[in-house]
Amino acid sequence: MEGIYLVHLMVMVLSLGLLAGALCQVDDGSDNETTAVYIVTLKQAPASHYYGKLRKNTNVFKHGVPRNPNQFHNRRDNSRSNWSSSSYVARVHDSLLRRVLRGEKYLKLYSYHYLINGFAVLVTPEQASKLSRRREVANVALDFSVRTATTHTPQFLGLPQGAWVKAGGYETAGEGIVIGFVDTGIDPTHPSFADDISLNSYPVPSHFSGICEVTRDFPSGSCNRKLIGARHFAASAITRGIFNSSQDYASPFDGDGHGTHTASVAAGNHGIPVIVAGHCFGNASGMAPRAHVSVYKALYKSFGGFAADVVAAIDQAAQDGVDVLSLSITPNRRPPGIATFFNPIDMALLSAVKAGIFTVQAAGNTGPSPKSMSSFSPWIFTVGAASHDRVYSNSIILGNNVTIHGVGLAPGTDEDTMLTLVSALHAVNNETTVTTDMYVGECQDSSSFNQDFIEGNLLICSYSIRFVLGLSTIKQAVETAKNLSAAGVVFYMDPFVIGFQLNPIPMSVPGIIIPSPDDSKVLLQYYNSSLERNETTKQITKFGAVASILGGLKANYSNSAPKVMYYSARGPDPEDSFLDDADILKPNLVAPGNSIWAAWSSLGTDSVEFQGENFAMMSGTSMAAPHIAGLAALIKQKFPSFSPSAIASALSSTASLYDNNGGPIMAQRAYANPDLNQSPATPFDMGSGFVNATAALDPGLIFDSCYDDYMSFLCGINGSSPVVLNYTGQNCLSYNSTINSTDLNLPSITIAKLYQSRTVQRSVTNIAGNETYKVGWSAPYGVTVKVVPARFSIASGERQILSVFFDAIMNSSTASHGRIGLFGDQGHVLNIPLSVIVKVTYNTTTNG
């Protein structure tokens, strides 16, 4: 029956229009176990390269100055779909496969036609080799796997008094902008995506042409004027036989929770009550609460995802007409080849940028080691994760007046009452022993205990590695405590769980988790020393330890923040699989990513502790990226014709360098005890800094780049010409000159190897009124820097070239950092981070 369902599913998916393919009926006896999914690109340019001239963002920095500085570029054409082109391209792909693989068995999964001209196909390596030898074929790449990488953050980012005011208030913030999400889907029933909570009309933007799939899990009516598009892509996973239809849902519905969470961070409705475990934690809002949401599900709970499905999702999102594209996903491995930039996902996103779509990607959760970055290309805006100032403090006061701090979104006990502490190990019934149940201390089964010992007391449970692995849960331990009528529950950390970082976890009864093994020892020593035993039998006669729990439902907003989280991936940006450094700053900046409240799928299983809840608190760069996607929507709303690089410039150049106490932003340097292992963040930790939402809406000056600049950069990589031709269908010979990555007009300067001296130029354009700027700088250690001019006046719409001269004054292979500051007399302040890694003061080559 399951096989029949999968075949039916494939037919359903193929009928959507993007996918078209046929399984040949001839069986040549080939071994199915050797087949794999390959992404094949053709030399002929995709549809967006032809139709894009009508709707791509024209770079007016090179073609004249606009009369209105808010109107940089022409808006895209209202209609982004061309179904006749789609059908024609699919037929071309089918014809090629029939000719090359005549009489052989294969399965075409996707036809890509908008951003790249190609297809995904399940074939043997020999068949892939046949395809690669055809003159029409540019590139054949093996598919690879990918993985997934709020109530208060709008206030912490100053939106209610700043950016939302500039957008006309939260009722209009993001209006008319469509944010696309490539993630695990969405729960359409969540109030964060309802379209009837406002009295104002909510029209679907005319430039959007996407659709909503209708399935048993995603019935008709799931979409509305807020959630305006929803599709799913799983063909590559299905061919591998790993798609679990009951768990992963063959529809846009989110069976994981991750996609619902990220979508609501960026564009969830304003003022939605956050109620978890029966407790209210305030009201939630996305960064752009009036923006529209379109979902492209390509990741799944049980296996993650695959590049072929992700590329199909990106291609469809661009064709549908999204304005911003958010990807909280990263590859499972560094792309092979001459440069990390040359992989199917990044190259599809390059075409998306050409079509005027601002693309945001999570940096990855592989920090804090250097070169752990999982987002590589300069046309992608890469976001790292930082903390914000809200923390939920919980603590337990012992009978010996010792206070131990912990975590737990739980109520406290009566402040005036000290309750008896009873260890689960000392409360088992006659049928249970530690010998017969070695995990009884984790409190997972109430039938193992004697209720007479526990009723009205605080039950002590062990938090072991099994909780980390999901084999035991806080929720089940709380159920045990409730079933035994315990007054509350206290978890101590097993000493074998070293350095594990706990998010606050909701509990419906008074409770606390002590995350420190050392503090856990203090608790256990007090408890054991307070036991009274029969001298002869050694049986416990009295539980003498007492305590009270203060509770962790009330938020504290005095935390020093932001700080770069230990898990946030770090630069420098690896240029290739040999870990050579690229002259590109990654991440671009950091945003709130730790302990983020946001919507949760009603059937989400990604976090056991939040199963069945409407909201969840999650941490990761996955949560940071949609913050930027939402803020980019606000910028796009104010400056409708901004190019993707103009939006990136506005966000980066205005980022903050300081925390809420006026000190430098710190970066955690270790997984274990991260707050005890931190130092001032460098650009390789935080990029340009921490996002400043209000300043980004009034940057003053813009650093702009266009598609041709990125192509000139790619063509400048040694040996890249055939690869560029393979991916883009464009010949590097058509570009009169090439540039290296240092010369891309980015709002940062990174030099991987400085041999003696170098001059770098940057171009800024004034989108504000006439203004005079002073230029200041601090040089990276071991380098002298000079910027010319040191002062300039610039009229609205005019452009200014800045020349930056670097000279190495010492030999060093240790990265050092500095900054250039542009200080306008009308209040605009921009910062340009400088990073130099290898510094050489003389020519080290010698003549033989």
Active site residues per annotation: 183, 258, 622
Distance CA 55, CA 74 (A): 7
Calculate the alpha carbon distances from 13 to 109, 186, 214, 222, 567 in Å: 9, 18, 11, 18, 37
CA dihedral angle for residue 389, residue 391, residue 397, residue 400, rounded to 10 degrees: -50
Residue 77 burial by Cβ neighbours in a 10 Å radius (0-12, 13-18, 19+): middle
667 has which bridge partners? Answer: 564, 679
Sign of CA dihedral 82, 87, 92, 97: positive
DSSP three-state, residue 263? helix
List alpha helices for 45-82, DSSP H.
47-55
Calpha distance 443→438 (Å, rounded): 11
Determine the Cα–Cα distance for residues 621 and 755; give it in Å rounded to an integer: 35
* Beta pairing class for 381-386 and 531-533: unpaired
Beta strands 791-794 and 666-668, pairing class: unpaired
Judge whether 308 and 120 are in contact, CB under 8 Å. yes
**Main-chain phi, psi angles of 779, to 5 degrees:** -85, 145
3-state secondary structure 74-103: CCCCCCCCCHHHHHHHHHHHHHHHHHHCCC
Which structure tokens are listed for 484?
A: 């035994």
Rg (CA), the chain: 29
3-state secondary structure 710-744: HHHHHHCCCCCHHHHHHHHCCCHHHCCCCCCHHHC
Listing DSSP states for 624-691 in one string gives HHHHHHHHHHHHHHHSTT--HHHHHHHHHHT-B-B-TTSSBPEEE--SSSGGGSEEE--HHHHTT-B-
**What DSSP assignment string belongs to 201-243?**
--PPPTT----B---SSS-TTS--SSEEEEEE--HHHHHTT--
Beta strands in 517-646 (DSSP E): 531-533, 540-543, 546-549, 555-556, 563-564, 589-592, 596-599, 615-618
Q: What is the largest CA-CA distance in the chain?
A: 96
Nearest Cα residue to 370 out of 565, 146, 575, 573: 573
Nearest to 817 by CA among 803, 831, 830, 802: 831
Contact 107, 120 (CB under 8 A): no
The pair of three-digit structure tokens given for residue 398, joined into one six-digit string: 């012992």
Question: End-to-end CA distance of the chain, in Å?
Answer: 75
Alpha-carbon distance of 35 to 537, in angstroms, equals 68
Which residues, at least 6 apart from 37, have a Cβ–Cβ distance to it below 8 Å?
A: 109, 120, 121, 122, 142, 143, 236, 239, 240, 306, 308
The DSSP secondary-structure symbol of 246 reads H
Cβ-based burial of 31 (10 A; exposed 0-12, middle 13-18, buried ≥19): exposed
Nearest Cα neighbor of 511 from 557, 450, 553 is 553
Q: Residues 590, 564: contact at Cβ < 8 Å?
A: yes
